[in-house]
Structure 1
Amino acid sequence: MIIKESVKDRIITAASELFYFDGYNQTGINKIIEEAQVSKDSMYRHFGSKEAIAVAYLEKRQRMISQEMTEFISAYSPGNDKIIGIFDYLLHWLGEVDFRGCGFQNIITDIPKDQESIKDAVRMYKNEVHEFIQNELNKTASEEMDTIEISNEVMVLIEGAIMLSQIQKNTWPLIAAKKACIKILKD
């Protein structure tokens, strides 16, 4: 049985592809309407603005990536191994999207300064990842380990490696960041 996607879901699906691959500023409402095959009236019945569509896109992306990453690293041991597994997941994922990069990083650099709800959605996801790392560190940390500081360092490695991999269209930044993370976790 084929389940027909709702109008709201079609709008989010179309916007997700367009925002991720074409960019937020480069995607107009009319293009979303065309791709989703909905009327302008239907679109505005579900979303009051392009910004609201972007927030829905980021929420969908957050759920998707969190689920994919959780499944990918489920075989890794709790603690440091799961943190290292994040880099393996990123290597797998960035290859699949031809190094397009992080949808959250991409959109935050592409929005007008007054679009606070989008910034909040990006922060929420990045904070979720940061919290995950800190929780995993706490599972295997020694008493003298500063898990807050180490989780900060790991987040910077992850974010920088994603961005540089996108720029270079290569995996070496992620591989180098993974090696640096292993060194940090051994100290």
Structure 2
Amino acid sequence: MKNTYLTSHFPLISILIFSITFSLYSEGIIIQKLHDFGVYDGMTEVFSDSGIKLTLLFLLLLLFFMVFAALKLIADTIVELSLLFFSRDQEGTELTKIRSGSWLYLIGSLLSLLFFQKIIVILLILVAVTFSYFIYFVYKVSSSLSSIGLVGLIFFHVFFWFSFTLTVFYATIKLYNSFVASLPV
């Protein structure tokens, strides 16, 4: 019998690797901007070059880890809510069926590490893996759903993530516009 907890650590490893990938890319951008602004040379008088890079990498890793961990928490909650609303499964067997889908994120995170200098490729990998996982999720739980339940589950996920993304985008634009408006002319 296969141990159901065998892949339980894959989400944590995937989050760490994706966080490292995004952190490495962001570190390069930030250090380049610090050089462009002429601040980096002054920083190296106080801190060593490797110290600046390691500290920056650690802080970015922590930031991205928190973002991805929060997104995973939200995604897990949405998955369980959708199963509560639309699935006929009362025992939670559908949740054990979808656990092996974490392989997709692990493979995607390892692949993204190879392309840490190309943000478009990293984002495409993340989106492709997420879409693949969604298809895997729907396929695995479809046996416990009616036709209307399947449509409801898909609509629930699409509507939630569309609304969530739109809200984050709107809040970011609103914050950016207020920041730009507050700058002296």
- Give TM-score, length-normalised by structure 1: 0.36
TM-score if structure 2 supplies the norm length? 0.36
Higher gyration radius (CA): 2
**Bigger relative CO (Cα 8 Å, ≥ 6 apart):** 2
